[in-house]
Amino acid sequence: MRTAEEIVRGIDFPLLKEQKKALLEVIENTDDVPKLEKLEGIVNLLNEIQDYVVNILGMDENEVFDLTNDDEE
């Protein structure tokens, strides 16, 4: 059985970052409250994964999918 660390290290973080950006765009452009709540739940999950790999595994935020520096893109 693989450990959580092995699973997390196998994630394609650049792709996941792009998926998170697309999800945030959808959230920004929807007025459907039930759908919005579900999508925000997914973003919260992604943020928890990010916190785990940064704080527990010691990976760099830029390796993961931190969007805090992407305002200009």
Residue among 22, 13, 11, 21 at smallest CA distance from 65: 13
Half-sphere exposure of 60 (CA within 13 A, CB side): 3
Domain membership of residue 21 as a residue range: 13-67
Query: In the prediction, which pLDDT does 73 show?
Result: 41
Say if pTM beats, i.e. exceeds, 0.75.
no
Cβ-based neighbour number of residue 35 at 10 Å: 12
Distances (CA, A) of 64 to 25, 29, 34, 42: 19, 25, 28, 16
Domain count, the chain: 1
Residue 1 lies in a domain: no
pLDDT at position 70 over 80: no
Q: Does any domain span residue 5? A: no
- Condensed to tens digits (0 to 9), the pLDDT of residues 21-68 reads 899 999 999 899 999 999 999 999 888 888 888 887 787 777 676 655
DSSP assignment letter at 11: S
pLDDT of residue 53: 82
Q: How many CB atoms lie within 10 A of CB 8?
A: 17
Whether the per-residue pLDDT at 14 is higher than 50: the answer is: yes
pLDDT score for 71: 45
